[in-house]
Amino acid sequence: MFDLIRNFFTALKALVKGSRTYYIWVGFLSFLAILGGGAYIVQLNKGLIVTAMRDQVSWGLYISNFTFLVGVAAAAVLLVVPAYIYNFKPIKEIVLFGEILAVTAIVMCIMFIIVDMGHPERVWHLLPIFGTMNFPRSLLAWDVIVLNSYLCLNIFIVFYVLYKISHNEEYSMTLVRPLVILSIPMAVSIHTVTAFLYNGLPSRPFWNASILAPRFIASAFCSGPALMLIIFQIIRKISRVEIDNKAIFKIAELIAYAMGLNLFLFGAEAFKEFYSGTVHVAPIKYMYFGLHGHVRLVPWMWTALACNVTAFLLFLSPKKREDFFFLNLACVLVITGVYIEKGMGLVVPGFVPGTLGEIYEYSPTDLEIMVTVGIWAVGALFYTLMLKMAVPIYVGDLRFSTSKNEKQ
């Protein structure tokens, strides 16, 4: 009991004590989070009327972010595969940070779903046993299950490993390895199920393309690792964590392949739509050329495409991707490109033109953007605090006491 209290304070101290930059960073994020929280309270009071979503485009920025973040969460697996299956040492050591990112991303996903709901207090209706989960018919029920399982799995791995290290104990590979290996199909499944969520709606021809799930996976394997590359460099800079360049370059190489595949799949989809030229071409035409004079998405979509192509070329050349300027540039381009393509560029065209042919040009309201920024701030804060604990444990600065190791 005494240990527990003491360890709690040790942990608290680890979180509270930090450099000036740390305080500024945490303060900044908290400010954004509070702003977002305030905006959300307004939304709760007035209803989703404060967003730009309407019957014609009934999902918007929130669900776009959700989709993007599921991809980020799934991409943690890209690190796990070489680390554990091929035993690629340099990556193995940083898997932990990837998994913390996955946990963060899923938490953010859940927040984005909650803020999108008309009745968040009824969320328990979704649960099995307590509520009436429509499993297995509804893909949203599947998504609830896989996302939460993936979250639990990653939380368990992260906390188990950190706990063991922080108590100077060896973690059991016989326990961790099967869980880590299990997380690989789980990661693929969270993103596949999310893709199927859209895919299974024949009323929306833009989503009802079987290429959607592979495209989701491919783009996730670009954006997730790109985000991680940037985070790893920051971690390496501000802490004593050593991350081998080899690991970073390997991940960059993997991003190049994933982006190549992503562009190929996009090309396949674009060919099919434009060449056949049926009525189902309307959404993709809306995205890249505009429809009946409605062109709001056009500049965004071309920006995304340009980002993705440039990043692909940069990552493809070993010389460029091993130059940190170009590497980071390419990472930013990938994140931007995929965020547009898989966020608004995926959700909005599903609704434009609407099922009755109506074109409503959605563009999020300030309040919607505030809530979104707030959730991103909460996510960043969560990840920062997690790292604030995990990094010292990882490098050996932070240790918890138990009666056992005290005796030793």
Per CB under 8 A, residues contacting other proteins are 46-49, 51, 53-59, 113, 116-126, 129-134, 137-141, 144, 197-198, 200-204, 279, 282, 291-292, 350-351, 353-358, 360
* Residue whose tokens read 């393509």: 341
Show the CA angle centred on residue 215, arms to residues 211 and 219, nearest 5°: 175
**Residue 47, helix vs strand vs coil:** coil
- Do residues 106 and 150 touch, judged by C-beta distance below 8 A? yes
Alpha helices (H) along 47-94: 61-80, 89-92
Counted residue by residue, the chain has a size of 408
d(CA 38, CA 84): 43
| Nearer of residues 280 and 320 to other proteins, judged by Cβ | 280
Q: What are phi and psi of 239, to 5 degrees?
A: -135, 180
Residue 103 C-beta: closest distance to other proteins, Å: 23
Residue 337 C-beta: closest distance to other proteins, Å: 25
Residue 254 C-beta: closest distance to other proteins, Å: 33
d(CA 128, CA 135): 8
DSSP code of residue 260:
H
| Nearer of residues 56 and 401 to other proteins, judged by Cβ | 56
| Nearer of residues 260 and 354 to other proteins, judged by Cβ | 354
| Nearer of residues 55 and 406 to other proteins, judged by Cβ | 55
Residue 176 C-beta: closest distance to other proteins, Å: 33
Show the CA angle centred on residue 72, arms to residues 15 and 174, nearest 5°: 75
Residue 288 C-beta: closest distance to other proteins, Å: 17
Residue 54 C-beta: closest distance to other proteins, Å: 4
| Nearer of residues 99 and 368 to other proteins, judged by Cβ | 368
| Nearer of residues 116 and 273 to other proteins, judged by Cβ | 116
